[in-house]
């Protein structure tokens, strides 16, 4: 890769740091008003000055850490030290997530103490369900059938590989370092040429599975407003599944088709990597925009009136505020409490089996890929 391509890729990678930091900084504020730092509270608690101080302190610490990491990575990048810059990007992204979730746990304990002191206790556990004509007309996640769009994408990549196989070089680059130097090459073979197709099939399966989990998830309904929260959740799930499909297709095409074109020589390896990294960056930006617009489970779609009454409290099922464990809940998937998206019910054996199966499938795919390119 040329120096300009390496520089462009590194600048894109550095942009991940402020995006990760901004995502972590906004996480507590994007939750439903009945949850503060993963603690069930009355919706009026959001206006409590003690809660506001905790929120502001959390944001200030995360933003300060984000600024320091961003400046360090950008300085190294502009000095041309790609290796050090990449190391800072990786360490900073992980560190910001650790700092963010560590602070959430710390302030969760403070909110729990405040909850006890204020006597915020649910007098009765309310469970809600929605029925009626309005519910039938409410927005819903897009159909899983939309994932058939991956089929023509994979077919296109197969056609490109088949048409360009004859023009592929005898030795195909399979790995480059952060400076753009090729560090590993393998002899041309049908197995190596098929690698982009295998990668696309795997990514398509992962994105389709994520879509399926949303369809199977329990809705994020609020006892104080079951009808409006059902509508809001439907809008949120519709936006998330639409975004998942669009970005899934874009990222899968960037990885598979981009790699195939680079193998043939139509585009440079540097350009292919830049496109992949750029699309990944757009995925993060898009996910952040959707989260800010809708909030977790659609909590920002409709403004909920403040109430001093705590209608539901399931804190005991949320271990560390993030891991849901309720063997009496038949749901395998549900909206997560810290962040935007969904999580699994670790109290169900089927959830453990599903996670174990996914890990084994990923390990098997990696093993197959190693065989294909060796």
* Predicted local distance difference test score (pLDDT) of residue 178: 58
C-alpha dihedral sign at 210, 329, 300, 132: positive
* Predicted local distance difference test score (pLDDT) of residue 123: 63
Instruction: Classify 82 as helix, strand or coil.
Output: helix
* Predicted local distance difference test score (pLDDT) of residue 18: 94
**Domain limits, the chain:** 1-120, 140-374
Identify the CA nearest to 58 among candidates 76, 36, 33.
36
DSSP labels, 125-178: -------SHHHHHS--PPPGGGGGGHHHHHHHHHHHHHHHGGGS-SEEEEEE-T
* Predicted local distance difference test score (pLDDT) of residue 132: 45
Residue 100: how many other CB atoms lie within 10 Å: 24
Q: What is the dihedral of CA 113, 114, 115, 120, to 10 degrees?
A: 150
As a whole number of Å, the end-to-end CA separation of the chain is: 23
Question: Are the beta carbons of 333 and 343 closer than 8 angstroms?
Answer: yes
* Predicted local distance difference test score (pLDDT) of residue 335: 92
- Block means of pLDDT (10 residues each) for the chain, 374 residues, are 71 90 93 89 88 95 95 85 83 93 94 90 57 62 95 95 86 65 74 88 94 90 74 92 96 93 84 88 92 90 77 86 90 89 92 91 83 68
Contacts 24+ apart (CB under 8 A), 54-58: 54/107, 54/110, 54/111, 55/28, 55/29, 57/107, 58/25, 58/28, 58/103, 58/104, 58/107
């Amino acid at each position: 890769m040329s120096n300009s391509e390496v520089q462009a890729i590194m600048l894109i990678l550095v942009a991940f740091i402020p995006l990760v930091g901004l995502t972590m900084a906004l996480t507590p504020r994007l939750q439903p008003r009945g949850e503060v730092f993963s603690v069930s509270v009355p919706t009026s608690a959001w206006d409590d000055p003690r809660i506001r101080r905790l929120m502001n302190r959390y944001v200030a610490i995360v933003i300060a850490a984000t600024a320091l990491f961003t400046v360090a990575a950008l300085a190294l990048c502009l000095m041309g030290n790609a290796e050090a810059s990449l190391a800072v990007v990786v360490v900073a992204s992980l560190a910001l997530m650790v700092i963010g979730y560590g602070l959430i746990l710390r302030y969760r304990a403070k909110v729990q103490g405040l909850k006890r002191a204020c006597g915020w206790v649910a007098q009765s556990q309310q469970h809600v369900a929605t029925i009626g004509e309005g519910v039938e007309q409410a927005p819903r996640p897009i159909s899983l059938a939309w994932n058939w769009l991956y089929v023509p994408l994979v077919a296109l990549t197969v056609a490109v590989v088949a048409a360009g196989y004859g023009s592929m070089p005898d030795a195909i680059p399979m790995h480059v370092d952060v400076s753009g130097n090729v560090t590993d090459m393998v002899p041309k073979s049908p197995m190596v040429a098929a690698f982009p197709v295998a990668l696309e099939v795997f990514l398509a399966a992962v994105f389709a599975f994520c879509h399926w989990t949303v369809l199977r998830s329990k809705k994020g309904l609020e006892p104080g407003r079951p009808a409006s929260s059902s509508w809001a959740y439907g809008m949120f799930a519709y936006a998330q599944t639409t975004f998942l499909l669009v970005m899934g297709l874009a990222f899968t095409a960037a990885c598979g088709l981009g790699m195939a074109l680079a193998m043939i020589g139509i585009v440079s390896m540097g350009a292919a990597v830049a496109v992949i990294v750029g699309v990944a960056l757009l995925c993060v930006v898009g996910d952040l925009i959707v989260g800010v617009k809708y909030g977790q489970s659609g909590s920002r779609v409709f403004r909920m009136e403040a109430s001093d009454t705590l209608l539901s409290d399931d804190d005991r099922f949320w271990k560390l505020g993030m891991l849901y464990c309720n063997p009496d809940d038949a749901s395998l998937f549900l909206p997560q409490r810290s962040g935007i998206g969904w999580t699994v019910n670790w109290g169900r054996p089927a959830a453990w089996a599903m996670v174990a199966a996914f890990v084994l499938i990923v390990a098997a795919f990696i093993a197959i890929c190693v065989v294909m390119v060796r």
